[in-house]
Amino acid sequence: MVINKFDEFLKITKKLNNIDIIPLLMGSVGLEVITSKSWNAQDLDIHVPGDKRGWEVAPELSIHNWMDIVNIMNSMGYRLIDLHEHEFFNEGLSVEFGIIDTLPSFAGVQLEDLEMQQHEGVKYYLLTPEQYLCVYNASSKDSYRADQSNNKDIRKIEFLKEAGFNN
């Protein structure tokens, strides 16, 4: 069964909205939404409110409303497979939660500059192409991320720059 990752994001987001969380769609799925280009997204990256210190905080404490999120994901058939990465898995799809509050220090993207989107009553944030460029530039300098992503970020940076988006 092929899962439409954006549709799955909207299903998860609708439940997050019910507990007053408006998430940020990150990663390749978000980039696909704004560029209308397939980036062969392997997973869903969803950022939610948390401690801006990020990795410095114990993983079970770093994301606000963590137990509520765990309960939502469990109710949708997902199982937590990696607490440190806040990663859930169900039917071939990995969903990872990150901390939206780390964006300013990590990539220089200010939270008040995020654009709220609405799709059939579901509220979420989506980065602009310029903000994606900031994130991918920062990610490309992160050794862990560079090792994990096999330099996919470089292709995305080149695409965004060629499309005329500069930060």
Query: Does 114 reside within a domain?
Result: yes
The amino acid at residue 148 is Q
Q: How far apart are CA 167 and CA 164, in angstroms?
A: 10
Q: What is the DSSP string of 148-163?
A: HHTTHHHHHHHHHHHT
User: Per the structure, how many domains does the chain have?
Assistant: 1
Q: Which of 72, 45, 69, 74 is nearest to 59 (CA)?
A: 69
- Predicted confidence at residue 141, as pLDDT, reads 78
- Return the percentage of the chain with pLDDT > 90, whole number: 75
Q: Evaluate whether 2 touches 93 at the Cβ level (below 8 Å).
A: no
Residue 35: domain span: 5-128
Q: Looking at residue 19, which CATH number applies to its domain?
A: 3.30.460.40
> pLDDT (tens digit, 9 = 90+) per residue, 103-115?
999 999 999 999 9
Question: Is 21 inside any structural domain?
Answer: yes
Per-residue pLDDT, 82: 97
The whole model's pTM is what? 0.90
pLDDT at 48 over 90: yes
